[in-house]
Amino acid sequence: MRLERIYELDILKSLAIVLLFFHHGGLYGVEVLQMSLKFLQPYIGCFIIGAFIFLAGYLSAVTIKKYPKPDRFRYLKTRFLRIYPPYLVALVLFILLLEVQVTLRELIVHILGLQILLAPLVGTPIFTLWFVGMIMLFFYQFFFLQLRFESMSGLVLSIMLIFGGSIILNSWFQLFEFRYFFFFPIFAVGILCERTNILPVLMASRFMLIDKFIIFILGTIFMALANSRTGMALTFISVLGTDLFILTSIMLALSLAKKVVDAKIGLSLFSFISVSSYFAFLFHRPIWKILTSFMTFRSHNLLFLYTVIVGTPIVIIVSYNLQKTYNHILEFLNRRSR
């Protein structure tokens, strides 16, 4: 069964990956009218990861429908093969090119993809790559939910039990890195949006999107107030405020994306960037390292401009071709195994 392409999701994914390039490319060291942009860092960072997590939840719920219940382990195998081998390559490149220092025990944890589950007990998750450990953990949890619960009420109850159980395990044994608790609800909302078919309602354009902008502004204010004293500490009010900002920003982005889709503007470009996004997420830092290793920059602004203007298109093109090649390899192996 071929799944229908939802271009609004392509645009959301493209926006998230392009913002990631600015986020990691040195945007916050740039001054505009002698004003630092560092205050934007938590908002852009949360939106980027939140968008990817929401998409992962939504698309997981879409994809698993292709597999009848007795054949659900094929879904898990497919997700694992699409995510894990490229992650291992990225891990090697981070250690070799970016000189990430890890102990043997930490390396084993990262190879197994358990860094989010076992942090802070066993080291600190590696920057950028921690996202893969989190998404793999979410996929495993979702997979076992689908084996046990078919009804909406059962799914919601089990999501609440998993989240509550994770809180207890964190308080008793220090399991689960703190970011898990910020993003698990976003993953769950993505699943529930697909199950309830509410996405078209969320993307609906009313009042020239004034309602979406107002909700987004309120979500931003709520996040600012929730984190004003403690930063993004693991508290109920901080998680609630941050997740409200993420969900309201996703709602606004999807509504704007629908306008773009209705006008049929740049859909091929957005699809191209969307296809490249996972490999671009994994490999943009190593590629940038190679591109900048033979050059000297007189200022941070020049480095930022070179990274974004030159480095970003190269990352997208290379990542797109790597993803397409990897897809062909997986299809070939799938045919051979039948």
Element (H, E) at 36: strand 35-36
Residue 97 has φ and ψ, to the nearest 5°, of -90, -40
pLDDT digits (tens, 9 = 90+) for 240-289: 999 999 999 999 999 999 999 999 999 999 999 999 999 999 999 999 99
What does the block give as tokens for 301?
């602004």
Residue 211 has φ and ψ, to the nearest 5°, of -60, -40
The pLDDT of residue 1 is above 50: no
The pLDDT of residue 3 is above 70: no
What does the block give as tokens for 157?
């109850």
Distance from C-alpha of 181 to C-alpha of 166, rounded to nearest angstrom:
8
The pLDDT of residue 320 is above 70: yes
In three-state secondary structure terms, 35 is strand
In three-state secondary structure terms, 4 is coil
Which residue(s) pair with 36 in the sheet? 31
From the list 92, 21, 8, 53, the residue with the least C-alpha distance to 319 is: 21
Residues recorded for the chain: 338
Domain ranges of the chain: 7-337
Those residues whose C-beta lies under 8 Å from the C-beta of residue 59, and which sit 6 or more positions away, are 9, 190
Cα-trace Rg, the chain: 20
What is residue 2's predicted lDDT score, i.e. its pLDDT?
A: 54
pTM: 0.95
pLDDT digits (tens, 9 = 90+) for 27-84: 998 887 778 889 999 999 999 999 999 999 999 989 888 877 767 788 888 889 999 9
